[in-house]
Amino acid sequence: MEKITGQKSTQPVSTEQVGRDRGRGGEKRRNHRDREGGELRTKQQRGNATPTEQRSPLISVVIPLYNEEESLDELGERLAPVLQKMSGGSYEVIFVDDGSTDSSYEVLRRLNRKDRRFKAIRFRTNYGKSAALAVGFEKVRGDYVFTMDADLQDDPNELPQLLAELQKGYDLVSGWKKTRHDPWHKTVPSKLFNSVVRKVTRLKIHDFNCGLKIYRREVLSTLSVYGEMHRYLPAQAHWQGFRVTELAVTHHPRKHGVSKFGMSRLLKGFLDLLTLVLTTRYAKRPLHIFGTVGVGVASVGFLIDLWLTVEWFLGRTSLTNRPLALLGVLLIIVGVQLISIGLIGEMVAKNSLDNKDYSIRERLG
């Protein structure tokens, strides 16, 4: 199916306008809170409206979590008034429990009984943050989609500022933990990681891994969220032609529990960066990457063997006792193989080329 993106208006509006009535077919419908269920319903929904006629929430928040039972009650209490003020009650919060082994899901049940707009999905086992985000993105119904962590280090009071920044004409706004309250063994590797990713992706933001972000809904369908790819969502959106920026946000010290991420995430992150570059930037032109590396390797091998051949011709050396000659031959063979892989990849890409894979911003006629 063809991906149509960027069709929503990007004209600036105030956060107060977000919760106002929106026209549908020239007629205005007012939203009222259902007194018993706590969910926002339109007049048609209280009548005989079908599910397709029901108005979807304007704002969605996706929160992945793993063993955060001590933080969830406070997070819910702090989120509700902020979202109520922003949207006039038209919102949903989707918690994705990534196989927690504590009582996190019981807390989520309690939040859901108090307010049906607080929803939850529970994995049978731990799949990782990317999987949690992917499932949450499939379930959202809002026009604007926030993501944030459940450990109380992300401040819900930052949501209005992120929305206001998005309304300046952007499609994704990523938070930037400018003042970070984490130990050095997390901040130093993070700075190195962000520096490398910034150079590779050519997207000039400081904090790719900040959990606090806001997306226009149409961005989500273009993202590949698996493995550790949640770190590169701004880069993916940028390469798809969406407008991406960042905004400095407040970062609080952790109040409960410990971080769920270890040093191994750096290695996984760099491997996923390589995967992202190959599958995104060079998916349609594999010869450019494999051919470039292959030509470089083969050229080094050729120059080594050429130099040894000249030395042998002048009688200065014997090729029978020079391992360097074998290295030169090996480099030539490896280079040719890489070029061949690139050519095969080009043939596969050409045969599978489909214009529907391109992200179209808008149409006329």
CA distances from 246 to 43, 179, 214 (A): 39, 14, 10
Question: How many Cβ atoms from other residues are within 10 Å of residue 273's Cβ?
Answer: 21
Residue 105 has a pLDDT of 95
CB distance 328 to 301 below 8 Å = yes
Which CATH code for domain 15-19+58-281?
Answer: 3.90.550.10
In this predicted structure, which of 88-102, 239-253, 307-321 has the lowest mean pLDDT? 307-321
CB distance 99 to 125 below 8 Å = yes
Question: How many Cβ atoms from other residues are within 10 Å of residue 110's Cβ?
Answer: 14
Q: Which amino acid is at 17?
A: Q
What distance in Å separates the CA atoms of residue 359 and residue 5, rounded to the nearest whole number?
6
φ and ψ at residue 340, rounded to 5 degrees: -65, -40
CB distance 195 to 202 below 8 Å = no
Mean pLDDT of the chain: 79
CA angle in degrees (0–180, nearest 5) for 62-145-212: 65
- Residue 245 β-bridge partners: 173
Residue 263 has a pLDDT of 55
What distance in Å separates the CA atoms of residue 4 and residue 356, rounded to the nearest whole number?
9
CA distances from 3 to 98, 342, 352, 360 (A): 29, 28, 17, 7
Residue 353 has a pLDDT of 52
CA 124 to chain centre: 23
Average pLDDT score over residue span 245-250? 94
Question: How many Cβ atoms from other residues are within 10 Å of residue 196's Cβ?
Answer: 13
Q: What share of the chain is helix, strand, coil (3-state, %, to 5)?
A: 50, 15, 40
Domain ranges within the chain, ordered by starting residue:
15-19+58-281, 286-350
Query: Could you tell me the pTM of the whole model?
Result: 0.66
How sure is the predictor about 288, in pLDDT bands with cuts at 50, 70 and 90?
confident
Residue 161 has a pLDDT of 96
CA distances from 357 to 222, 233, 351 (A): 10, 18, 14
Instruction: Give residue for tokens 């040719």.
Output: 336
What distance in Å separates the CA atoms of residue 221 and residue 207, rounded to the nearest whole number?
23
Average pLDDT score over residue span 52-64? 76
Q: In this model, does residue 38 exceed pLDDT 50?
A: no
Q: In this model, does residue 9 exceed pLDDT 60?
A: no
- Kindly state the percentage of the chain with pLDDT values over 70: 73
Question: How many Cβ atoms from other residues are within 10 Å of residue 323's Cβ?
Answer: 7
Task: List, for residues 81-94, the tens digit of each pLDDT value.
Answer: 999 999 999 999 99
